[in-house]
Amino acid sequence: MGEIYTSPIDVVLREDIVVQPDLVIVLKENYKILQEKGIIGIPDIVIEIISPSSVERDLIHKKNIYEEAGIKEYWIVFPKEKMIEILFLNKDKQYDVFHIFSIEKNKKLTSPLLKKLEINLNEIF
């Protein structure tokens, strides 16, 4: 499948744009972007865990950066609400909502990019 990295790890999207998502997934076919200094290039999935101090940064600023960079999926985790929103890059290179998973409504989380992935939400929350 690929590798999962946790923060702090630098993700250099461009020479002038370096971010540190909470979690980063790089699929096997893109391992060339894994460098000693961090991830140099576009990872396949980034995951941000929302906290009261990060709401605006993660939902607006980072979303725009990830979308512009061409990151295929952006997962936004809302721990208090026990909810995960998965955005995917559409053919117009803009994020669309794939699904909003909540522990109350869904038992399993799936991903448009990781077709075989099924995660039990009770294991996350």
Domain CATH code at residue 66: 3.90.1570.10
> What pTM did the predictor assign?
0.93
Q: Whole-angstrom Cα distance, residue 64 to residue 36?
A: 27
Q: What pLDDT is stored for residue 90 in this prediction?
A: 96
Per the structure, the count of domains in the chain is 1
Tell me the two tokens of residue 13.
Answer: 């999207």
CA-closest candidate to residue 45, choices 35, 33, 55: 33
Greater pLDDT, 74 or 103: 74
Q: How far is CA 31 from CA 1, 9, 38, 83, 121, in A?
A: 11, 15, 12, 30, 28
Task: Give the model confidence (pLDDT) of 54-97 as tens digits.
Answer: 898 999 999 999 999 999 999 999 999 999 999 999 999 999 99
By C-alpha distance, which of 97, 100, 93 is closest to 72? Answer: 93
> Which residues form the domain of 66?
2-124
Instruction: Give the pLDDT score at 20.
Output: 95
- Residue 1 predicted with pLDDT over 80: no
